[in-house]
Each structure stands twice: as structure tokens, then as C-alpha cells.
Amino acid sequence: MREELLREVEQFLYREARLLDERRFHEWLGLFTDDVRYWMGGRSTRYPPSSKGITVLDRERRESEIEDELAILDETKMTLGGRIARLDTGMAWAEDPPSRTRHIIANIEVEPGDTASELKVYSNFLVYRTRAESEQDFYVGSRQDVLRRVDGAWKIARRKLVLDQNVLLPKNVSIFF
Amino acid sequence: MAADVTRLVDVENGRISRRIFIEREIYEQELERIFARCWLFLCHESQISRAGDFFSTYMGEDPVLVVRDTEGQLRAFLNVCRHRGNRLCRADAGNAATFTCAYHGWTYRNTGQLVGVPFIKEAYYGALERERWGLVPVAQLESYKGLVFATFDPEAPPLGEYLGEMTWYLDAFFDRQEGGIEVVGGLHKWTMPCNWKLPAENFAGDGYHVTWSHLSAVRSGFGGDFRVGADPTGTALSPGNGHGVMLVGAHMIADPPAPEILAYEEKIFPEIVKRLGPRAGLFKPVAGTVFPNFSMLKPTSRTFRVWHPRGPDKTEVWAWVYVDTAAPPDVKEAVRLAGVRVFGPAGVFEQDDMDNWQACTQTGRGVVARRHPLNYEMGLGHEGYDDDLKAWASEYRFSESNQRQFYQRWAQLMTAEKWAEIKG
């Protein structure tokens, strides 16, 4: 992968993070393709196959994958737009007063995508959220994006987010990632 | 010495003391007299459908392991090793014939029987009576239409009696079609900085908050129009024993606004009436709570959940999405999406609730704020027994009738030494 391309992708993701931290959600939505799937899952705890903590009775009982779990977010561009429209109503109480966020994006890796106009991009996120007087939360996890070149600009065509917590410690997920 | 809560709950005048939402002493008494005594929801049978399947949950703050044993029988025990009290099973769910404690290696069969103790001959000289040291089982376990409940109190009335007329309303949520319901995927688990009773009473009877708390989500097209649309009808309904249900008129559309779901609901409505009887033709169920902490919802999202208490000012919610087993795949997918988008930690309706309940709990830390009781007088005197619905019903669609019934039951349980003293 060319150094120039890596820098371009990094700068794209940092700019995206800044739009979120500055609550420029309409501009942020413009970074997605019309066919985007924006998905967030959580983590459940299972015994690893090698564990001596249990003896398995039914070997055919398949261990669940992250994708089998109930998603936390499973959005289209339209429903993301609906969420942003909700924030604009002046009655979205979970965001009134608004969250103050700091999106830290790290461990960025870029790989070729399935087509010549796409890239697979891996990254980690650490999002700090503080709100009102003393509320604070950390949202930490992984991101897998598909970036697509559309009319000369990068757009996000797929975003898969996995939060590392099992029982989420924040009271809600009222922000974007 | 138990705290006297009788003066804290005045349902005659609709006044509830804030002390019951914040004080540690009252919370500890709830763990004893509510959570170690009532029938509590554990899981849905579809989660543990095969022999060996297990699911880890809680009853109050007690960790509980629910299993379908090797013979296929449902069982539930404290998820606690009898030796040093270590948590036995560390996973959320899975399949196992035996469980071995990570500390010293004591091994239990999925029937709860203690079958393995390392060095039992040498170190215990054969004197350890293994049969006496099995996992501590719940006192009673029963399933109602796939919903698995248990109680730690051997004197608790049978589940059917405890639920009473609520069973019929549970059918209206969970047994509308042959095959009942199944759960979709896993579940959402998250933490709410609020007292557990606030969400429980909200689902039991607070139709009132939807028109303001959730108006942003309604106006952004996520459903719930039935609450703010023209000519709304409905009632808050108490089938007894502290349980509560909210209903809306049968002519109203109270479903997620997905075309697949709306077409499906229209099609099956006559079938539901045929299956459940004419009472099902009088209304549509919206939400409800089985006392104390199992709640359900049907419009906007199909979810049921447990509000696990985690201290006076903390609740852990475990929320599932459910769908009729008989529904076609496109309806199931639409129900899953509505479940994720509208309720749950990121749900456009639900995220606003947590924020309100948090502050309703935390302002009670102020000793002066705590001196002033909360107002639960909405609809006092405008409620009565409805022969058709076989339950106590409010006249107007918004009423705090169900909350008053909830707290009356709460006060009865908190005051009574044992089940025999509690009126049905």
C-alpha cells in the first residue's frame, strides 16, 4: 500500500472524527454512500473451545459469533438521517444537554478492497463522552470500514463497529462512531 | 429489624416517598422481601432449547444458572460453588454436561449434583458428604408459554396464582399465534444509573410520558404515532398482584411503522381474536410489567426485559427482542430492526428514558428534596373493575392507577413477614 494512500485514509478518518466532535452531523452523514450499512455489535462471554471449565454435552451446539448477537446499531443512511433529524427536534432529551465527545481513532490499517474503487480499513476507537456536570463514559472498540471512491472522493460504504464491553457501562449509546 | 415502609407509600392519596428510591436500608429489604420472595423471570425457553444448554442470569443480586439438563429437564441454581463461594459458570450462555469451579476444581453435573472433588479420599478422608453439597436450587421453577420463572421462596404461591389474570395478558403479547414467540439473536445488557422501580413502573403504566419524552422519535418517523395521533383511546389496566398493562383501542395502529409488520398485524388480528377470545378484539396491548421487574413492550419495538437491581441507584437492564415464531422471515427481520433502532441502549425512544430516570433517582440524594413526596395522583377516583377486561381499569388512557397498584403490592410485600400474610 502506498504511503500517500495511507495518509489520505488517515486524514479522511481524522476529519470524520472532528465532524463528530464538532457535532456537524449533517456534514458527517454526507461521508456515507447511499447504500451504507452501519452496524454495531457487542461482546458476549463464552467458554473457549479449549476450556476445561465445562465439559460440553452437545458438540453440535455452535458457539455464537459476534454477528449472531443482537446488534446495538443496524442502520441505513436513511435511519442515520432519522437519528440526526431527531437531534434537530429540540426534544431529544438524551442529547439535551449534548454529549461532549472526543473520538480517538488509532491502529489504522489499509488493505485492498473487493473492487478497484474500494479499500478495507481497520481501526480502533476510544471515544470519551462527558455530559452535563460530571457524567463520563468510555466507548472502546474496533472498526472495520469499506471506503469507496465516489466521484473522486472517499465515502464510507460499510462500517462494522464492535464495542468491547459485555454489559455496557454507559447508560446509553446516544452518540455516533 | 425491618424498616416500616407503610408511611412511605400512600396510594389512597397518590403520594410516594422518595426514600424508597434512594435509601440503602430499604434496598436491602427489597432484596430480601421482593427479590428473594417473588417469581422472577429467568429466560425464554427458546434460549435453552437443547439438552445441556445453559444461560447465566441473576435473581436480584444473586447469580443464577439456568440449565436444560442432560435429561431435558429445566433447572436453576445459584451460580455459586458450595466450597468457597466462587462464581461457578463464567460464561453468559453455552452448552455443558458439567461445570468445574476455577478455584479448586469442584465439579457439578448440569443437574446440580456435586460429582467431583479433587483429593476427596486423601484430603477429606472420605468424610465429605458429596450429596449434601450440590448447587443450591431455586425453591420453585415453572414455565408459562415459554417464559421461565423461578422463586427462592418455597412458600410463594404457584406461578399461575402469582400471575393470576396477568396470564391472559401475557398471551396477548406472547401467544398470539401457534408456536408462541422466539427471541431474536442475543440480548442487550447495559447499566442505568437509576432505581429499578422507575423503569418497572414506567412499563407498567406510564403512557403519559410518551407524548413528551419520546415526541422527538415519533416526529422523526420511528413509530409511536398512536400516542399522539387523533382520537386515541386506551386504558391502564391492573390484573392484580401488582402487575400492570397498558392497552390502546383495537382500531389503533400500535406497531413499528414497517410495511411488512403493518400488513402482517392486519392479517393476523382476526386470528388472534379467534385464538384468545373476544377480549382480544377489544384492544391492542402496548406494554406491561409482571411484578416486580419483568417488563414487555409491543408497539415501536417488540422487547421484553428484566430490570436487575444493582443498588438503590443502579439498574442493569437485560433486554431481548421477540417475534412470533410463525411470522414470515421478512416480518422477523423488520421486527429485529425495529427492536435495535427504537429500544435498547441506542434506541431512539429508549435513550431518553435512561436520562430521565437517572435524574429522578439522583435528585433524591438531597435530604430536603427527599422530604417532599412524589405525586402519583393522576386519575384518582377515575378507575374501577372492568368486567370485560377482568381487571382494574382507568377511565382515561393516561392514569397513574397502575403505578398505585404496583406500589401497593410493593408495600404489602415489604411489610409482610411471609407469603401467608399477603392478600392475593
Pairing, β A100-112 against β A135-150: unpaired
CA B67 – CA B48 distance, rounded (Å): 7
CA A26 – CA A125 distance, rounded (Å): 21
CA B227 – CA B252 distance, rounded (Å): 10
Interchain CB contacts (distance < 8 Å): A and B: 162
pLDDT tens digits in sequence order for chain B, 424 residues long: 678 898 999 999 999 999 999 999 999 999 999 999 999 999 999 999 999 999 999 999 999 999 999 999 999 999 999 999 999 999 999 999 999 999 999 999 999 999 999 999 999 999 999 999 999 999 999 999 999 999 999 999 999 999 999 999 999 999 999 999 999 989 999 999 999 999 999 999 999 999 899 999 988 888 877 766 666 789 999 999 999 999 999 888 889 989 999 999 999 999 999 999 999 999 999 999 999 999 999 998 999 999 999 999 999 999 999 999 999 999 999 999 999 999 999 999 999 999 999 999 999 999 999 999 999 999 999 999 999 999 999 999 999 999 999 999 999 999 999 999 986 5
Question: Is residue A75 less than 8 Å (CB to CB) from chain B?
Answer: yes
Report the gap between the CA of B280 and the closest CA in chain A (Å): 30
Residues 318-337 of B with CB under 8 A from A: 320-321, 336-337
In this structure, is the dihedral angle defined by the CA atoms of residues B161, B166, B169 and B173, taken in order, positive or negative? Answer: negative
Q: Is the pTM of this model over 0.95?
A: yes
Closest by Cβ to B352, choosing from A57, A93, A168: A93
Any idea where the domains of chain A sit in the sequence? 3-44+66-163
Q: B62 phi and psi, to 5 degrees?
A: -85, 125
Can you give the pLDDT at residue B319? 98
Residues 198-227 of B with CB under 8 A from A: 212-213, 215-217, 219-222
* Annotated active-site residue in B153, B209, B330, B386: B209
B188 is catalytic: no
Q: Residue A48 corresponds to which cell in the numbers above?
A: 473457549
Q: Which residues contact B146 (CB under 8 A, 6 or more apart)?
A: B44, B45, B46, B174, B180, B181
Q: Which of B405, B295, B314, B416 is nearest to B33 (CA)?
A: B416
- Give the CATH number of domain B40-142; options: 3.40.50.1000, 2.60.120.10, 1.10.3720.10, 2.102.10.10: 2.102.10.10
ω before B270 within 30° of 0 (cis)? no
CA A52 – CA A66 distance, rounded (Å): 23
Write down the ipTM of this complex.
0.95
- Please compute, for residue B50, the number of CA atoms within 13 A of its CA located in the half-sphere on the CB side: 12
pLDDT digit string, tens, across residues A59-112: 887 666 777 889 999 999 999 999 999 999 999 999 999 999 999 999 999 999
- Give the CATH number of domain A3-44+66-163; options: 3.40.50.10860, 3.40.120.10, 3.40.50.620, 3.10.450.50: 3.10.450.50
B353 is catalytic: yes
End-to-end CA separation in angstroms for chain A: 26
What's the CA angle centered on B27, arms B23 and B29, to 5 degrees?
120
With beta carbons less than 8 A apart as the criterion, state whether B209 and A93 touch: no
B171 is catalytic: no
Contacts of B320 in chain A (CB under 8 A): 70
Closest by Cβ to A94, choosing from B188, B222, B355: B355
Q: Which residues is B15 bridged to in the sheet?
A: B10, B375
CATH superfamily of the B164-421 domain: Naphthalene 1,2-dioxygenase Alpha Subunit; Chain A, domain 1 (3.90.380.10)
With beta carbons less than 8 A apart as the criterion, state whether B241 and B409 touch: yes
Q: Which residues is B250 bridged to in the sheet?
A: none
Closest by Cβ to B91, choosing from A47, A70, A85: A47
Q: What is the helix (H) or strand (E) element at residue B235, kind and residue range?
A: strand B234-240
A25, A37, A52, A55: which to substitute to probe chain B, counting the most B Cβ within 10 Å? A55
Residue A29, SS3 per DSSP:
helix
> If you search the block for the grid coordinates 469451579, which residue do you land on?
B101
ω before B292 within 30° of 0 (cis)? yes
B214 is catalytic: yes
With beta carbons less than 8 A apart as the criterion, state whether B94 and A47 touch: yes
Residue count (chain B)? 424
Any idea where the domains of chain B sit in the sequence? 40-142, 164-421
